[in-house]
Each structure stands twice: as structure tokens, then as C-alpha cells.
Amino acid sequence: MPVTRTPAVTSNLGVGQTPQTSAVTDASSAMIPANANRAFCLMTNIGKEDVWFSVDATAELNKGTRLSRNGGVGILDSNGLSFGPINGICAIGKSSTITFQEINR
């Protein structure tokens, strides 16, 4: 009996964007810019300092959502998606780096 092959499954979310990195310092700033086409965002803290992030608001140290140092992961999907900037901050006098990848509609 012949085998029927189906096409590869593709994401129903949209088009994946090139992964990027962003520096995070001790002053709240947009670590990921606003994106009106955002359908999904994956963030990983690859730095040596914890990062706190806030969506559409100023990030505050020790408040909000933390991306733990050395591999902490955050996901924004349809359950908590925002199109505005994702702001980040880390401890005074410190800095960290995140990587992120967005999928656009």
C-alpha cells in the first residue's frame, strides 16, 4: 500500500523574525521595541544578572516578571500579548543581555 505524505506543518501564528539580542541596564528602557504585527515573542536572558520586564510600562527593579540570569525564559503569546514595547531593567550598576525572537502575523 502506498504511503501518503502530507505537507510539513507550518506555524499558524505567522512569520518568524530573525533572533536578536538586546542590552539591559539599570535604567528602564525598551529591550524589545513596539511591534504592531507581534503574534508571539520568546525572550531568554543570556546574561549574568536577573532582568525584570514590564509590558507597555516602565520596568521596575524587583517588580513584575523576572527573567532569571543565565537562561531565564519569558513568553508572550495570545494569553498575554501586547504590541507595545517590552521594557527591562536590572540591578544598579549592572547590565545583562537578552535574546528574543518574535513571530509576526
Given this model, what pLDDT does residue 7 score? 45
Given this model, what pLDDT does residue 6 score? 45
- Find, among 4, 13, 49, the residue nearest to 31 by Cα: 49
Protein fold of 20-104: Jelly Rolls (2.60.120)
pLDDT tens digits for range 64-101: 899 999 999 999 988 878 899 999 999 999 999 999 99
Given this model, what pLDDT does residue 81 score? 84
What's the pTM? 0.83
Q: How far is CA 62 from CA 35, 49, 50, 92, 95, in A?
A: 26, 12, 9, 11, 15
pLDDT tens digits for range 12-69: 557 888 999 999 999 999 999 999 999 999 999 999 999 999 999 999 999 989 999 9
Cα pseudo-dihedral 30, 82, 59, 28, rounded to 10: 10
Instruction: Using the predicted structure, report yes or no on whether residue 11 has a pLDDT greater than 80.
Output: no
